[in-house]
Structure 1
């Protein structure tokens, strides 16, 4: 298969997965130039008409579903003997792998994932499509934290001829009791499976385990799950009650629509506990029919009792006996009431018959069907049929056009005495969605932005990435609609993630004066700081270098450091008077100065004068004046080498002459 081109445009690349009846490849759409996922039916099924019909139905059903939380189907077809479906290519990991790697998720994340799956199921159910195989393996968690529901491979439309096969098609750990028993399935079967997905996400394990699929399936029918908080104490009671309501054995005791479950999870995320408690109020336990391994049926156990926290606890034998006694009393009371009602009904019949025999003048007529009429038309119809117009009311009804009658009392075709009053309700159209304020998503991660939107009933969508000088990479830099504006609950808010600041080349300002360099860099979008450095080669006030260096790239808005020359460095001058010229010269040249001997001075003399004192810049010329060692007793050597002083000695001619302190006679 790799290397083939299907439908003249989809090049098949490497295999990325295999399912029960198909293989999935990474592919390339040569027309639109994008990566896609290509699902192809396994060869052994391609010649089977029933599997081909199922494959075709999957493609048609999935292609009709448009939701940010459902994998998109772009195309489908048949090329030679190969049936294929072209889908959105997803990056990320499936929820099952995530739970295996990280264990139980926190309650808010579980609710966020659950609410997104519920929104996906709502779209499918409105198209009369039941997924039938909701499980973590079919939930892809994308890099931005949002999910996509995948694989409608066993999904069925309610009106499909393929629904006659009600065999267990899902995975045993996630199937509903009615799916196990081969009963007719409705939207609540997907909600049961979603409840198990949230159970596993919040505890790290599935509620029912066994050695084989049959054992697990029987537990789905017969056993109550342990409350999630018993496996993970971090699960709070409100989320636990939502999960356990999804997992009720009786479909009528569960949430009845995916929208209802979504709204409850949204209220939970928003902290509206009163709404959650109201939505998860437990219904009376209802008996269901269970199957044993032989196929025999038997009554299942009643639901366990509930403690003050709203969590399930096992019933004791005493409590079970009390419940049974209460049930018997209830039935007895019901039978008495039914007997009284029956007697009253009999009396009414007798009265009606007697009245008829006495020739009552009141004629019974069928109430006309007024639905779909305008108010004026309905009033006219009521009067034409011999009835009286009662109250005219109005209410919201999304299924009936505004201005048309959407309800009536008495109901249409009911036999009523002529002249009876008929009340009508005129539709105001669909109820307007609640208006909410759009939150500020700036600097939030994609997951946090999604949570903030869900908390107020809005839907988040990740738009294109964009550069931002003010927002770090991976955070929200802009959104549409803007923060603070109003939107209707259910509206989509598109937010864009920052790739960080744009990169700008650092302008070459070396050799410019400080003012010019600062102006040029600011015009390029940088901030500027200045540091002084001494330089004997660059004039004072001129830029010596920059950091980062010139002609390199830096983030727009980054700070560029200018190193500006303060001129040559000033050096302290040592006082060398009284030193020998040779020592003085070595000292000053070592400090960076140039030494010059004054005219008429001897390099063998003692320094008596220097042209500069204090400090001067390196390289400055200092002139030294010297004087030969004194021979008249007035200029004794100040740098003796033999410890001698300025003592006068005896000349060889007997006269009293001063001699050098450095003389040979010491």
Structure 2
């Protein structure tokens, strides 16, 4: 196809917007009604099977009759030299694929939920009228000023049947999004769209599809036989919904797109209104805050030694005190173990516990000091920087311990807080909406998203924040960020 070509006697092709396995999309001009349109011309032909062609064209016309805010309007269908074409409204928004790319691979969870709820609304409308899309994916979903638009209704089935007729054994579809029944060439229905919907939702929040292929046979095996990895770092009810959408058996998926839309909106409402654990919040610093220089907090060898001694004293004192106080009551009266009343035994236990704790704690502290992992939290006038040692496990065994560093600018945070005490202490931050990190970035840098939308920037999951001196960190934060 070339610019200037007139299709159907009225649609003049202007510029190619895209090309894919199904065909080409052109920005065009409807010379009869004097309006801009998009024309999608399919590559396959069905001239050798008039009955099949007629049936598919009728289905395309049925799809073209769909009128819903979330469905792209199809103005006309026809043939050009045996090639089917579809004339649609010309959209100016961005595909979900482009939105992902612009946001580092993912979308903020609340935005993904809002957009996909609109997609589910459109699917519910089409499914209620007996129309199945068959190729839901980010490239066929567009966000513009008017909301979400689903593209290519009625086109996927046309192209699929065309390809099967002209190339025996050839499968049309987008492999990462195809439901098991599509791989088996079984009949499809609305639940087939829900499977692709689930893959799309997974991709928007996790930066990758559940299965990576890379070949068609590999995708077929994965979609048919391998359970999809469960989403992590998202609300549990969202992960549950995606698990249902990606069920191998269509009967195990949600009953309708309407149900999915309602569930997504409920998750979004709960997600937006969730309140996390109560914690002291450090407010955004004032613009006139004086320079505070740089402060570095780390788990030094001396700090690890002191921590080991304290832990040893506590543990052995408790053990020995309990043992000494219990002996007079448990040992026979004529036994040498019952050598004093419980106050004497209590004092004896304390003394023995302190001595034993110092000895054992010193040994433990020396050992951790020589073999321990060093983490660092650095604060300066511009940002917070965390360098942490990260364990990578394969089959339950640690195969690598490597440092990982990331920085967060103060102006990217809405609040910062320290929660908990001693070994349960966590440094928690909430990012401003414009700086919301993509899920893949957060996972890569060891940040865990919580139900209230904040992130555990550094905490007790893999390491002990006590080793970076929580007291000093509490004292230092107001000088850099707020009070």
Higher relative contact order (CA 8 A, sep 6+): 2
Q: Considering only CA atoms, is the larger Rg found in Structure 1 or Structure 2?
A: 1
User: Which of the two has greater helix per residue?
Assistant: 2
